[in-house]
Amino acid sequence: MAKRLFTSESVTSGHPDKLCDRISDSILDAILTQDPNAHVACEVTAAKGLIHVMGEINTKCYVDIDKEVRKAIKEVGYTSSDAGLDGNTCGVIVSINSQSSDIAMGVDASLEKRLGDESDESVIGAGDQGMMFGFACNETPELMPLPISLAHLLAKRLETVRKEGIINYLRPDGKTQVTVEYDGSVPIRVDTIVVSAQHSEDVSNDAIKSDITEKVIHAVIPSHLIDKNTKVFINPTGRFVIGGPTGDSGLTGRKIIVDTYGGYASHGGGAFSGKDSTKVDRSGAYAARYVAKNIVAAGIAKKCEVQIAYAIGISNPVSVMVNTFNTSEVSDECVARIVNKVFDLRPFSIIDKFNLRSPIYTSLSSYGHMGREDLNVEWEKTDKVEELKKELAKYKKG
């Protein structure tokens, strides 16, 4: 079979874009702790010495946003301007408005309810139009593509060795990248590893390369995937002292590929962080991952991509598409019919099943929203496997 290379990247929680994601989700969590029904769309920009919080929020509670911003910054590790930002002294600008009443009327009461087709008072409409994609494959135990899984492991390990003092000269900013070689559809080896880690000025490149090779790369990348031809690049420019918002500006939602499947699957374009669950950019993407993962876990397909599309103010999806990449013994049309029987993909049902009105989002703001079995999130559970198998058996008998 033809061999090919595929690359995915990840970033640490101290990357400027991820810092903004964390601040946005920290504010969301602080609000949901007091007001689970709040409508939140909070975005953040970060520049040298300055954080700007903006967006639309409807809530019955009060949250000290300045305090939440500084807390999030310091938790990441930005406590000194030498590192790229000081959460104690940086400027914080807050520009928050109320959510548009035109949007709220469609979210609070779906079109189905307004037309009398739905009597359930809990039925809400989608918070926006758009299409969301979910994906799963059998390359890893968590049913994620191997390149993004390995890139996340490296980035998380970078943060661990910094915070635990295992490599005490590291600073919060960092990026990782992994190229995997495939033989057909089977991953066989790691071809290239790239690690860029922010560091203090008083350390040599040789020390950085030695420590990261031993304490980061060899600690998390399975040895059977690395061979004598694997290329490793550590801080390829030779210096990474200036980092964080001092080295580059940050923006909420600019790492949507890192947040999902590392470019291995389609993406609808919507970001997650800072948005409450009525925004289907977030809840719909979680639901699509849940559907795809259960299909693969049930053995219906080895690889599966699911698209769900919504219209603002309408509860039921306008379309559901399944692509199994010719890895299923039944047609994609058949699998889509089964999906529509087994899964309730209306926003209020997704929110209820996944407990999305709970303050669970800060921990998701780094290292991906999918494949996070370490956080025990509901959309990673494979509790629909048996039901899917039963429906498939009915189809085969019919």
Question: What pLDDT does residue 110 have?
Answer: 47
CA 261 – CA 148 distance, rounded (Å): 6
Q: Are 197 and 11 in contact (CB under 8 A)?
A: no
CA 9 – CA 342 distance, rounded (Å): 34
Question: What pLDDT does residue 111 have?
Answer: 47
CA 92 – CA 318 distance, rounded (Å): 41
Judging by DSSP bridges, how do beta strands 303-310 and 250-251 pair with one another? unpaired
Tokens 């949007």 identify what position?
A: 103
Write out pLDDT tens, residues 18-59: 999 999 999 999 999 999 999 999 999 999 999 999 999 999
Q: What is the pTM of this model?
A: 0.94
Question: What pLDDT does residue 378 have?
Answer: 98
Question: What pLDDT does residue 125 have?
Answer: 73
Q: Are 68 and 30 in contact (CB under 8 A)?
A: yes
Q: Which residues of the chain have pLDDT under 70?
A: 1, 99-123, 398
Tokens 């039963």 identify what position?
A: 390
Write out pLDDT tens, residues 193-238: 999 999 999 999 999 999 999 999 999 999 999 999 999 999 999 9
Tokens 């629909």 identify what position?
A: 384
CA distances in angstroms from 227 to 171, 179, 181, 304, listed in the order given:
30, 13, 12, 30
Question: What pLDDT does residue 208 have?
Answer: 98
Tokens 């890192």 identify what position?
A: 258
Q: For residue 213, what is the DSSP state?
A: I
85 bridge partner residues: 80
Which ranges of the chain would DSSP assign to H, the alpha helix? Answer: 16-34, 65-76, 101-108, 111-114, 146-163, 205-212, 218-220, 244-247, 256-259, 280-297, 332-342, 347-354, 385-397
Sheet holding 250-251, edge to edge: 91-97, 50-58, 39-47, 250-251
For 33, other C-beta atoms within 10 Å of its C-beta total 13
Tokens 């559907």 identify what position?
A: 291
Question: What pLDDT does residue 395 have?
Answer: 84
Helix (H) or strand (E) holding 192: strand 186-199
Sheet holding 186-199, edge to edge: 3-11, 170-183, 186-199, 231-234
Give the DSSP letter string of 83-103: GTEETTTSEEEEEEEPPPHHH
Q: Looking at this protein, which amino acid is placed at residue 230?
A: T
Of the CA atoms within 13 Å of residue 31, those in its CB half-sphere come to 25
